[in-house]
Amino acid sequence: MNGRVAGLGWTHNEELVVVLNNGRVRWYYNFEGDFDEYSIGQNANVIGVRTWKLERRGIVVLLQDNRIVRLTRSGRSALVRDMKDRGEFHSWCIIESDIYVSMETEVYKVTSRDCVRCSVDGPFEIMCASSDGRLIALWSLDKGLAIVTSTFDRVIMTWNCPRPRDMMWCGSDAVALQYEETLKIVAPGGELEFFYDGYVAQGEPDSLTILTTTSIDILAKVGNATVDCFKIGSRAKAAILMDAVDKLTRHSPKANENLQIIGDGLLQAINDSLDAALEEFDPYWQKKLLKAASFGKAELEMRNGESDVAIRFVKVCDELRILNLIRDRGIGLFLTYSTFKKLGVTRVVELLVKRQKFAEAFQISKFLKLPLDAVFVSWACCKIKYSTSGDEELSQALLGRFQQLSGGKYISFARVAEVAFQEGRLNLAKVLINFESLFEKQIPLLLTMEENELALQKSIESQNIDLILETILILKSTLSYPQFFKLLNSSKPSSNVFEYFYRTNSQIIHDFYNQADRPIDLANYELSTSNFSPASVKTAITTYNTRNTAITSQLDKQSKLMNHQEELTTEFNVDFTNLSLSETILKLLTLSQQTRALQLVKEFKFPERKLGYLKLEHFVITQRFDELYQWAINEEPSIGLEPIVERCIKADEKRLALRLLQRGKLSYEQKTSLLLQLKEWKQVIEEAVKKRDGALIEHVAEVSGGAVEAEVNEARSRIGASSRFF
């Protein structure tokens, strides 16, 4: 560690913070020496650190030039306020995110937005805030100790005392003043003095922890329930209940008299006994209080039957079992009940795991039916780090414990396998990673282990396109192109995903096909991207010929067509490029180049029926409807008359369509369908009467909108009369 230590401190998460004078800060996040190191910034390495304080989300540092800098746990540094022009610095304290600074004779409330003057009664050499943030204790050379509200609008008390070595709050109830051999506790009710031969005190949210050379003492305000139970001469219901238990153990008949005295206050007496038991550290007094509560509970149940107090009694017993377990000197978590409730059982288990007290963590988790995965993972990681067993023996031990604890539930092995890899146990890591069922956690570790082929295979097994693509992109960024393309080429699904994602990047796709020795795909890609340019077609033909593929003949035809199109473009000064064979023939017909069109038809063996459709389109485009009529009637086109009539209708040539209907040979269904398209209702009715098609007549009545109502009625009568005749 380079640089002189400016200070040490513990965060609420039991992380050790070390601030160095050179502007560096270390966060030790476990008890194994692992840490994160950050820079305070703001030229702190040159200016130096004057003092610093912990806050909920990080630390606040005061530099030697009176600039205040905030550093978060993630390492983000920001200047809060420059206090250079405010005079000499004396002391400061923090309440949540607000910073109170004593400069000269004034106290300022500093935030990232503003700097507000709160008091002018300074200077104050020492400042500290209560744990709830409502009060601030101030010590000055002239006035001694003063306790004021955090808004500085009311003085709670003053106390004349010499300057202490340090000053802190005992919860939010009293102020502790540290001297060389004495510790004074000052509150509005008076002063208490304790004597210690060398000690260190630390303020807690609800108490004061005192560390001496021989013991750890916890000094806290005695709760009301405890006072009621143990105060000399107490007439509280809980005290009478405890006395009743004492008399019962002596077989005194006065125990029943005590219950009668308690009367309806029995429930309150039970709850007070339970509250007092939770505040006690000594198991002897805990048992005594629980015995009183149990006696009262039995009496209450005899009076009123089952009650909720039985549930609370069991809960208190469970909590005391946990508190007594963690308060053992081998563990050292000397928590008060209020701190225990504030942290929660889950956080307590995390603190045990941090101390590598896995047996106790397992015991509490199983006792309260909490998830065991975090405890198991931490235990397995420590087992790997410090075990001298071989990989096979260690894997059997880990998997055996896993099968005992999991109960069929999911427990992540990703962290365990990662630790095995970091410790150089590669074979063990490969075994453990197979027990990770989530691909999202399994694949990143495989990539870290450089098991690239297995990682790609697992991503495909996940059937998650996003995960496959993410894996491919990571591999692309870490491997050389030959290695990457070789890996892709071994997996068809992954290569498909890669080709689709990079479909617009011609250079990468070209390199991929080239490296993968896929000339056919390369030729196809170049054809599609170049719109079948002559050069790409020739290249593709050469490629296909070497591979003897069936598509070669098609490309030969395309090449011949492109040659013809170049000649036609030059000859007629009209652009024929990038046209299909059908479009080329149609364009020649529209240019009245029937001979050249027929040459293409003959050369490319163009189907006669398709040619008929092209001729039809040619007549319509050029509006040669007389020639169309002659062609349709005299030459009997291979496409038949129906599509010709439909095209005329589409071109709004209804007269020509009727002429073709009258001259052409069409079936009844074809003719009536075309007449309906032309809305020639009368002719449809005539055709229907001839065939006695009543359904068609009704259809005409429906779609004509009443335009031919008389004709429809006459047709109905004619069909009806004809039916009676037969």
The reply to whether 363 falls in a domain is yes
Domain end point (choices 264, 286, 311): 311
- Confidence at residue 726, expressed as pLDDT on a 0 to 100 scale: 37
Helical H segments across 254-326, by residue range: 254-262, 266-279, 283-304, 309-326
What is the chain's alpha carbon radius of gyration, rounded to the nearest angstrom?
A: 47
The reply to whether 454 falls in a domain is no
Between CA 5 and CA 640 the distance in angstroms is: 101
Sheet with 58-63, strands from edge to edge, namely 49-55, 58-63, 67-72, 77-82
The tens digit of pLDDT for each residue in 61-102 reads 999 999 999 999 999 999 999 998 888 999 999 998 899 999
2: tokens are: 């380079």
Between CA 472 and CA 498 the distance in angstroms is: 7
* Same domain (yes/no): 45, 177: yes
Q: Assess contact for 539 and 523: CB atoms under 8 A.
A: yes
Asked if residue 123 has a cis previous peptide bond (ω within 30° of 0), the answer is: yes
Domain end point (choices 437, 456, 484): 437
* Same domain (yes/no): 193, 45: yes
CATH number reported for the structural domain that contains residue 558 in this entry: 1.10.150.780
- Confidence at residue 521, expressed as pLDDT on a 0 to 100 scale: 61
Domain end point (choices 571, 606, 641): 606
Distances (CA, A) of 289 to 241, 285, 399, 460: 9, 6, 45, 63
The dihedral of CA 178, 179, 185, 187: what is its sign?
Answer: negative
107: tokens are: 């106290």
Residue 345's domain comprises 328-370
What is the number of structural domains in the chain? 5
Residues present in the chain in total: 726
The reply to whether 498 falls in a domain is no
- Confidence at residue 655, expressed as pLDDT on a 0 to 100 scale: 85
Residue spans of the chain under pLDDT 70: 1-2, 305-306, 407-408, 510, 513-556, 558-559, 720-726
- Confidence at residue 261, expressed as pLDDT on a 0 to 100 scale: 87
pTM tops 0.85, yes or no: no
The reply to whether 494 falls in a domain is no
* Same domain (yes/no): 551, 599: yes
The residue behind tokens 């069922």 is: 437
- Confidence at residue 525, expressed as pLDDT on a 0 to 100 scale: 57
In sequence order, the 6+-apart residues with CB closer than 8 A to the CB of 142 are none
Between CA 448 and CA 76 the distance in angstroms is: 27
**Helix, strand, coil tally for the chain in percent (to 5):** 55, 15, 30
The dihedral of CA 656, 662, 664, 665: what is its sign?
Answer: positive
First to last CA, the chain: 119
* Same domain (yes/no): 119, 178: yes
* Same domain (yes/no): 209, 158: yes
Mapped to the 3 state alphabet, what secondary structure does 189-229 carry?
A: CEEEEEECCCEEEEECCCCEEEEECCCEEEECCCCHHHHHH
* Same domain (yes/no): 17, 138: yes
* Same domain (yes/no): 299, 354: no
Burial 383-397 (b: 16+ CB within 10 A, else e): bbeeeeeebeebbee
Long-range (24+ apart) CB contacts under 8 A made by 232-237 are: 236/269, 236/272, 237/262, 237/265, 237/266, 237/268, 237/269, 237/272
- Confidence at residue 252, expressed as pLDDT on a 0 to 100 scale: 82
The reply to whether 101 falls in a domain is yes
Q: Assess contact for 354 and 375: CB atoms under 8 A.
A: no
Structural element, H or E, at residue 135: strand 135-140
Helical H segments across 530-680, by residue range: 534-547, 552-572, 581-590, 594-603, 608-621, 625-634, 642-650, 654-663, 668-678
227: tokens are: 């006072």
* Same domain (yes/no): 233, 364: no
The dihedral of CA 700, 704, 710, 713: what is its sign?
Answer: positive
- Confidence at residue 69, expressed as pLDDT on a 0 to 100 scale: 95
The dihedral of CA 217, 219, 225, 230: what is its sign?
Answer: positive
The reply to whether 473 falls in a domain is no
Q: Taking Cα atoms as reference points, which of 609, 604, 617, 602 lies closest to residue 638?
A: 609
The dihedral of CA 245, 251, 253, 256: what is its sign?
Answer: positive
The reply to whether 614 falls in a domain is no
DSSP string for residues in 138-207 = EEETTTEEEEEETTSS-EEEEE--PPPSEEEEETTTEEEEE-SSEEEEEETTEEEEEE-SSEEEEE-SSS
Q: Assess contact for 24 and 38: CB atoms under 8 A.
A: yes
CATH number reported for the structural domain that contains residue 52 in this entry: 2.130.10.10
Helix/strand number for the chain, H first, E second: 33, 23
- Confidence at residue 725, expressed as pLDDT on a 0 to 100 scale: 38
Q: Assess contact for 258 and 240: CB atoms under 8 A.
A: yes
* Same domain (yes/no): 268, 409: no
The residue behind tokens 């260690």 is: 394
* Same domain (yes/no): 234, 304: yes
- Confidence at residue 162, expressed as pLDDT on a 0 to 100 scale: 92
Helical H segments across 452-516, by residue range: 452-462, 465-478, 481-489, 492-501, 506-515
DSSP string for residues in 424-455 = T-HHHHHHHHTT---HHHHHHHHHHTT-HHHH
The reply to whether 629 falls in a domain is no
Residue 498: count of CB within 10 angstroms of its CB: 23
- Confidence at residue 556, expressed as pLDDT on a 0 to 100 scale: 64
477: tokens are: 């960024």
* Same domain (yes/no): 143, 266: no
* Same domain (yes/no): 61, 161: yes
